[in-house]
Amino acid sequence: MPVPSDGSPAAGPVLRLGVLGCAEIARRRMLPAMAAHPAVELRAVASRSAARAAAAAAPYGARPVTGYERLLADPEVDAVYLPLPAALHAEWVGAALDAGKHVLAEKPLTLEPARTRALLERARALGLVLRENVMFVHHGQHAVVRRLLADGAIGEPRSLHAAFTVPAPADGDIRYDPGLGGGCLADIGLYPVRAAVHLLGPELDVAGAVLSSAPGRRVETSGAALLRRADGVVAQLSFGMEHAYRSRYEVWGSEGRITVDRAFTPAADHRPALLLERASGTETLALPAEDQVAASVGAFAAAVRGLPGGPADEAALLAQADLLSSIRRAAS
């Protein structure tokens, strides 16, 4: 697609987008954000069920499509958003790329680092944009934290403590199905792992990990990992999906600490209040509300059009994939 002459996100031709699948995250968060974004036109929603496709597409005036292949064959769709179960990502991301479509895929991009690398290489060879939909990195509160760290606001970083836990999904949820890539590591643990990479850099190794399953579950429902950097900085991560909700990280330094609450899934109207604690006193940094879902959609549209649009660090994506795989190996 051509770059808009004035460089604005809404100028020039919009990104004609199709959706492969009707998962809850698509219906609840992504479809509304796509339909509202000035740089995007939501063209079609595909499902294996005609009724599900029609129900998901109707509120936005999009065309329902029965079958993913039919949507990929549509020449009036430039790009696809893919919220299918994790175990199906590699197959359908590859099919979309082969059909000439740019792809925004739900996280994790794949369940195997080698397949993630292969798909990124394929996209690059085809001149297509492939992004993983890790939305929280597009929220401005984390850019503020990175700036504080770079400015030495808490001295030398010593450790990161990050936790993301959510209440139990309903019985029958795909996250309980090992055949579909279920389990809390890839779905929930990914967030604190990516936070460690985002704040401490990609050069992290796994020092130890634990994964455990609640009684009667066939997938892991809780876990913890210890990551380390060559200079001794560590990250202590906790995650789970049968817990009270917690979404928080703290960065400890030689001279202070930064705390971020509602770190990973803040509502669009949430006004972040970063806590900066130092020997001289405690300061609360009040930040404006941001919609990280809209920001992620906008970043993808901008990338397709060759514009700057927020974090797109392939090294971070690959480090995340490697760490998730290493955590699973260390825990077993």
- Catalogue the active-site residues: 107
Task: Return phi, psi of residue 202, to 5°.
Answer: -80, -10
Place of tokens 């792809």: 103
Alpha-carbon gap, residue 61 to 83, rounded angstroms? 20
DSSP class per residue in 55-113: HHHGGGTPEEEESHHHHHT-TT--EEEE---GGGHHHHHHHHHHTT-EEEEESSS-SSH
Q: In angstroms, rounded to a whole number, what is the distance separating the alpha carbons of residues 288 and 34?
A: 22
CA-based radius of gyration for the chain:
20
Which secondary-structure segment (H or E) carries 193? helix 190-200
CB distance 249 to 163 below 8 Å: yes
